A and B are shown apart, each in its own frame.
Chain A
Amino acid sequence: MREHTIHDFETGSLNVHVLPSTTYKTNTLLLHMRSSLDKDTVTKRALLPYVLQSGTEKHPSRKDIRHELDELYGATLNVDVSKKGENHLMTFKMEVANEKFLTDDRPLLERAIEMLASVVLHPRTLNDAFDKSIVDGEKRALKQKLASVYDDKMRYANKRLTEEMCEDEPFSLFVLGDSEDLSEIDEKSLYDYYLEAIENDQLDLYIIGDVEESEMETLISRHFGALGKNERKEKKVNKAVQKHRENSREVIEEQDVQQGKLHIGYRTYTTYDDADYFPLQLFNGVFGGFSHSKLFINVREKASLAYYAASRVESHKGLLIVMSGIESNKFNDATEIIFKQMEDMKKGNFSEDDLEQTKAVLKNQLLETMDVPRGFIELEYHNRLSGTERPLSGWMDEIDSVTKEDVVRVAEKIKLDTVYFLKGKEEAGNE
């Protein structure tokens, strides 16, 4: 395994993590702004990064920013919002070519850092508010995006399951907010919220590429120096609520679709900071995470009921979600097989070989993820998010040390919560 040495330093309230590496032909910058998932701020946070990337003091429109990026040899700037447990992240990512591979040798990295800093710290403003035309345009685009979640049935089913399953928990909030709250936001209220977020969010900047730590300290303090050192209101660690439902329930919805979407939510009562985290990862691998797993073999290969049947774990909330696309009249057959696989896991009906196979695939998957700058940051950020010290270099040994008993113990904790089924109408036709 390749050695990863991260150098950490602080610039004001910004936590900087530098990973020097010569593997890539590009340099990556990624800034996470984290706060708690909250009904009052979720929609603003879904809108904010899109407004910020659409105009800075120096480059007042999207077109100007994009033109500057083209000039930086097609540097990319992507913004995104995501949910990790009950945390809401606004993410700004830039990738820029390493000038070493270009005939042109201007300092591309510094210009990229400057651009990222200006997007986050020096937005275009007019009278203590954002530019109204930018905010209106981005509100319209977000509204359209919210409406079109309905059009992607897998995503829709996942959203609906989460809403039903976690109804009184912050986790039920949709990552993009909701369109009612959106209509209340204007250029002034969003700007006020922006000031709060800069003041209180936990800020982590990752830099991966052919760089030196000392040079990064200079560049970051030059461009992010405006961030003062202050007490963050945001808690260092934000642990998710774990609710318990006595009896599981079933939610069935009907729509004009060709394929039924079966999404099943379980509570694992195991999160990243628990000792049982890796046993849970192995549970998921044997049960449904891969193409050798029980769900794939039994729902797809043996019963021909589906093209996909898989499970995944929400590491910071403690959920396990099963997903499968099936014929609408095969609900009973599919759930029966899936529940049987879960029972078998709890009873320990899987072999040592199954476990070994899963270890091999899981380790491989992690190593591959670490090959990609974005993947490496994602894994590393688990530690920041949960306040856990679990260096990536130790993960392989932790996986190897998991026993069958560990997996069964984790399985026994898992409880069925909600079965959601989006089914087709009787005479479903799509024309």
Chain B
Amino acid sequence: MNKVTFDQLQETLYHEELPNGLSVYVLPKKGFNKTFATFTTKYGSIDNHFIPLGKKDAIKVPDGIAHFLEHKLFENEEGEDVFQQFSKQGASANAFTSFTRTAYLFSSTMEIEKNLETLLDFVQDPYFSEQSVEKEKGIIEQEIKMYDDNPDWRNYFGLISSMYEYHPVKIDIAGTAASINDITKDMLYTCYETFYHPSNMVVFVVGNLEPEKIIEQIRNNQAKKDFKAPEKIERFFEAEPEEVHEKETTIKMNVNTGKSLTGFKDKRPDKQGTDLLKHELSIQLLLEMMFGQSSENYQKLFDEGLIDDSFSFDYSGEYGFGFSVIGGDTDHPEKLAGRVKEMTNEFISGNIDKGQMESIRKKKIGYFLRSLNSPEFIANQFTRYQFNKMDLFEVIPTLESLTEQDLENAMKEHFNTETQMSICYIKPKGE
């Protein structure tokens, strides 16, 4: 068991890699009632083209299968729902699928050991039947329809498919009613065998607990189970052009208020580790400086009647894709996008304002500290960072070390309004 202490944050993290390849992390938190645990595989909606474990040839699987698999793991051979078991043990359980990860989690203030055992066991004991797969299709279809009626979701995915021509990040995480219809129990087993190998997974437990005991328990749990020898997973992605696919998309919906989202696509999204951490923090600082609530631009956009407090921005980056998005509700979608473009151009043609940079740096440090109050944030972000070879506890030192030059470089590379920018509008029908 390794132990790393982060003095400034007054946190100690415990880690062990088990013989089967599973990575286990425990972060004790005094004073919390709650324990939160995640069991995550590095497998998400973009992993749709790969060589199955023990096979030679690559296969393509239907859109939405990682998410479908997440739903189905909750049911055991007796047709019982593992939610029932968690709740008998006073826990609430959940799961989510993202572009690159599927996470299973519980939070509980009692019976931590039992709940942890349940989490490890249900994720590692799949049972799929033709009948239960069919039954799930109706449920997921309603989930898809719920998102179809959600203008923010449509705007976000509309923007991603406008930026990306081939990369599967453009596919809706849950797939479509048609694509999930093609899913069979055999496909689920194939995906499961390949991506749920312990060597592709991480357990993270945070709460008021004794790290030695927790790690011991997980070690014993895993020692009882047999797994095939790990293999490196081969994933395939079609070559994605550097530039955006389309500059503009419009979606008409049954809404009163329009929306506008502007996206910037990373040219070479091949960064990992420290490089990715530096890049993502730089872009986040730049976005705050350009469009944060304390910026000139935010005040101008508000005074010009183009935004309300739904206006926001964000950067998402993983191996293979990376983009920032800026926008929100507006009665004038084109005008807002036009102003965002002008302001971006104006910003990148000027110099970094040192005073503003310091002020925003402080803000980001404070935000990060605040998010360490949240066990959910720690577990989810830490795991994401691990999969990208980054270290969550390097965030503050990295923020403190960023120079004007780092920001200049990231700015020049990322915010190119000619080739890297797309816009997606939501407009009321009939306009």
Q: What is A's interface to B at a CB cutoff of 8 Å?
A: 1-2, 21-26, 50, 61-63, 66-67, 69-76, 95-98, 101-104, 133, 137, 140-141, 144-145, 147-148, 150-153, 255-259, 290-292, 296-297, 300-301, 304-308, 325-327, 353, 356-358, 360-361, 363-365, 367-368, 370-372, 430-431
In this assembly, does B298 line the interface, its C-beta being within 8 Å of a C-beta of chain A?
yes
The stretch that binds A, out of B18-26, B188-196, B301-309, B387-395, is: B301-309
Tell whether A364 pairs with B90 under 8 Å between CB atoms, given A2-B31, A259-B146: yes
A361–B87 contact, CB under 8 A? Answer: yes
Q: In the complex, what distance in Å separates the CA atom of A324 from the CA atom of B136?
A: 17
Question: Which B residues are in CB contact (< 8 Å) with A21?
Answer: 31
A304–B303 contact, CB under 8 A? Answer: no
A368 interface neighbour in B109, B138, B302, Cβ under 8 Å: B109
Chain B residues 64 to 108 lying within 8 A of chain A, measured CB to CB, are 81, 83-84, 87-93, 107-108
B136–A304 contact, CB under 8 A? Answer: yes
Q: In the complex, what distance in Å separates the CA atom of A258 from the CA atom of B302?
A: 33
Interface size of B in residues (CB-CB distance below 8 Å): 74
A430–B148 contact, CB under 8 A? Answer: yes
In this assembly, does B293 line the interface, its C-beta being within 8 Å of a C-beta of chain A?
yes
In this assembly, does B292 line the interface, its C-beta being within 8 Å of a C-beta of chain A?
yes
Q: In the complex, what distance in Å separates the CA atom of A22 from the CA atom of B30?
A: 9
Beta-carbon contacts of B377-409 to A below 8 Å, as 1s and 0s?
A: 000000000000000000000000000000000
B81 interface neighbour in A62, A104, A301, A305, Cβ under 8 Å: A301
Closest to A360 in B: B90
Q: What is B's interface to A at a CB cutoff of 8 Å?
A: 8-10, 30-34, 81, 83-84, 87-93, 107-110, 135-140, 142-143, 145-146, 148-151, 251-257, 292-296, 298-299, 302-303, 305, 307-310, 329-331, 359-360, 362-367, 369-370, 372-374, 429
Taking A50-B309, A360-B88, A365-B92 as known contacts, 11 extra A-B pairs with beta carbons closer than 8 A to each other, sorted by chain A number, are A95-B370, A104-B362, A144-B308, A144-B329, A291-B93, A292-B88, A300-B139, A363-B110, A364-B90, A368-B34, A371-B34
Question: Which A residues are in CB contact (< 8 Å) with B296?
Answer: 63
Q: In the complex, what distance in Å separates the CA atom of A183 from the CA atom of B131?
A: 57
Closest to B79 in A: A301
B87–A357 contact, CB under 8 A? Answer: yes
Tell whether A307 pairs with B329 under 8 Å between CB atoms, given A137-B302, A292-B83: no
A26 interface neighbour in B84, B308, B369, Cβ under 8 Å: B369
User: 9 A–B contact pairs at CB < 8 A?
Assistant: A50-B309, A63-B293, A73-B369, A74-B366, A144-B257, A144-B329, A357-B84, A360-B89, A364-B92
A2 interface neighbour in B33, B107, B295, B374, Cβ under 8 Å: B33
Q: In the complex, what distance in Å separates the CA atom of A357 from the CA atom of B374?
A: 26
In the complex, which of the residues A74, A101, A137 has the most CB atoms of chain B within 10 Å of its own CB atom?
A74
Q: In the complex, what distance in Å separates the CA atom of A285 from the CA atom of B81?
A: 17
A147–B256 contact, CB under 8 A? Answer: yes
Closest to A300 in B: B139
B359 interface neighbour in A71, A101, A255, A306, Cβ under 8 Å: A71
Question: Which B residues are in CB contact (< 8 Å) with A153?
Answer: 149
Tell whether A61 pairs with B148 under 8 Å between CB atoms, given A2-B31, A306-B139, A430-B254: no
Return B174 CB to nearest CB of chain A, in Å.
Answer: 10
A67–B359 contact, CB under 8 A? Answer: yes
Q: In the complex, what distance in Å separates the CA atom of A27 from the CA atom of B359?
A: 20
Q: In the complex, what distance in Å separates the CA atom of A71 from the CA atom of B372?
A: 20
Tell whether A71 pairs with B362 under 8 Å between CB atoms, given A257-B254, A292-B83: yes
Question: Which A residues are in CB contact (< 8 Å) with B308?
Answer: 140-141, 144-145
B92 interface neighbour in A26, A326, A361, Cβ under 8 Å: A361
Question: Which B residues are in CB contact (< 8 Å) with A2?
Answer: 31, 33
B140 interface neighbour in A73, A307, A353, Cβ under 8 Å: A307
A325 interface neighbour in B32, B87, B140, B145, Cβ under 8 Å: B145
Tell whether A325 pairs with B142 under 8 Å between CB atoms, given A69-B294, A144-B257, A367-B34: yes
B90–A363 contact, CB under 8 A? Answer: yes
Question: Which B residues are in CB contact (< 8 Å) with A75?
Answer: 366
Q: In the complex, what distance in Å separates the CA atom of A140 from the CA atom of B330?
A: 11
B88–A74 contact, CB under 8 A? Answer: no
Question: Which A residues are in CB contact (< 8 Å) with B148?
Answer: 258-259, 430
